[in-house]
């Protein structure tokens, strides 16, 4: 970040009157001396979220109705003044004092992410295994270890993020999509450790539904960027299954059955589809 650049801080909020005021104040304090604006996107709150954010010094972007975390962030990006954008939540879980360090990292990075520490302590026990599995899945598909796939504290350039706006969902998967999109396209993403705190107020996440949505999203995004990561392993499994079944039938003195033949032919077709999809992805860049 150059000294002449400013940063737009976008804070999505839905019924966060208990914490949004202090979050806005902490952002303004952390960015004192840095050109900035604070935008609180009021996602159809039915409490005093907008009033408390405005009193604390934020500009309000009203959504009118509850449309979701991702929809709020997209609205905030459209209203932001600066190309450099920071996002964080309105519930007090992310430390605003980490923003200057993330901004400094933007001198060499395309996106700087606050990687949460103490995360397993803050996440309910039943959500830890699905989250671990999701991260392992994403690491395989992105070809690198991602310290924090969906951290809600990050700084990035709007000019880069806007390229993927059509992929961003309206729900909680906005940050996951942005991380995978930038990792798969070779942008420089830096992860800085931050403290993750207990939230103020009640969580809006629905564990089962949102976890399934995350897995589905990771699969869709990587099909869009790296389809061979899906098609080639699937083709290999089908080919080995067909070959194994054919060998078994031969040992038993049986003719090659339709199931084995279907698996072998299907394996070739799946591999061909993967190669074609990969070609289309590369031509579209």
Buried (b) or exposed (e) across 17-56, using 16+ Cβ within 10 A?
bbbbbebbbbbbebbeeeebbbbbbbbbbeebbbebbbeb
Tokens of 221: 């995004």
H helices of 95-173, where? 99-105, 119-122, 125-142, 158-161
Nearest to 151, CA basis, from 131, 129, 167: 131
Q: Residue 218: is its pLDDT beyond 90? A: no
Predicted local confidence at residue 169, as pLDDT = 77
Please tell me the distance from the alpha carbon of residue 85 to that of residue 77, in angstroms, as a whole number.
8
With a cut of 80, say whether residue 118 has pLDDT above it.
Answer: no
pLDDT grade for 31, boundaries at 50, 70 and 90: very high
Q: Where are the domains of the chain?
A: 7-225, 228-283
Regarding the domain with residue range 7-225, which homologous superfamily does it belong to in the CATH classification? Spore Coat Polysaccharide Biosynthesis Protein SpsA; Chain A (3.90.550.10)
Output the average pLDDT for the chain.
Answer: 86
Task: Indicate whether 135 pLDDT > 70.
Answer: yes
Q: How far apart are CA 79 and CA 65, in angstroms?
A: 17
* Phi, psi values for residue 63, rounded to 5°: -90, -25
| Chain-centroid distance, C-alpha 38 | 22
- Which pLDDT band holds residue 138 (cuts at 50, 70, 90)? confident
* Gap between the Cα atoms of 224 and 56, Å rounded: 41
| pLDDT tens digits, one per residue of 94-113 | 999 999 999 999 999 999 99
Q: Count CB neighbours of 240 within 10 A.
A: 13
> Residue 255: what pLDDT?
85
Task: State the Cα–Cα distance between residues 7 and 282, nearest whole angstrom.
Answer: 33
- pTM (predicted TM-score): 0.78
Question: What is the gyration radius of the CA atoms in the chain, in angstroms?
Answer: 23
């Amino acid at each position: 970040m150059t000294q002449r650049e400013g940063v737009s801080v976008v804070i999505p909020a839905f019924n966060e009157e208990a914490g949004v005021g202090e979050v806005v104040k902490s952002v303004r304090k952390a960015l004192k001396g840095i050109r900035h604006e604070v935008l609180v996107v009021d996602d159809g709150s039915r409490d005093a979220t907008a009033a408390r954010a405005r009193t604390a010094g934020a500009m309000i972007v009203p959504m009118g109705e509850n449309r979701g975390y991702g929809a709020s962030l997209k609205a905030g990006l459209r209203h932001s003044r600066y190309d450099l954008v920071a996002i964080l939540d309105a519930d007090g879980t992310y430390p605003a004092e980490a923003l200057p360090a993330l901004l400094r990292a933007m001198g060499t990075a395309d996106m700087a992410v606050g990687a949460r520490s103490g995360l397993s302590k803050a996440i309910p026990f039943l959500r830890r295994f699905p989250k671990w599995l999701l991260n392992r899945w994403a690491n395989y598909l992105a070809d690198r270890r991602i310290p924090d796939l969906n951290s809600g504290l990050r700084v990035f350039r709007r000019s880069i993020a806007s390229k993927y706006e059509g992929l961003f969902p309206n729900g909680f998967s906005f940050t996951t999509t942005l991380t995978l999109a930038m990792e798969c396209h070779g942008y420089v993403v830096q992860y800085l450790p931050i403290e993750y705190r207990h939230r103020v107020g009640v969580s809006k996440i629905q564990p089962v539904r949102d976890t399934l949505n995350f897995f589905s999203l990771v699969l869709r995004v990587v099909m869009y960027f790296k389809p061979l990561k899906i098609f080639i392993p699937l083709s290999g499994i089908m080919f080995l299954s067909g070959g194994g079944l054919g060998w078994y039938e031969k040992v038993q003195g049986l003719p090659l059955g339709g199931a084995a033949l279907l698996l072998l032919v299907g394996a070739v077709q799946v591999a061909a589809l993967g190669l074609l999809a990969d070609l289309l992805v590369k031509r579209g860049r």
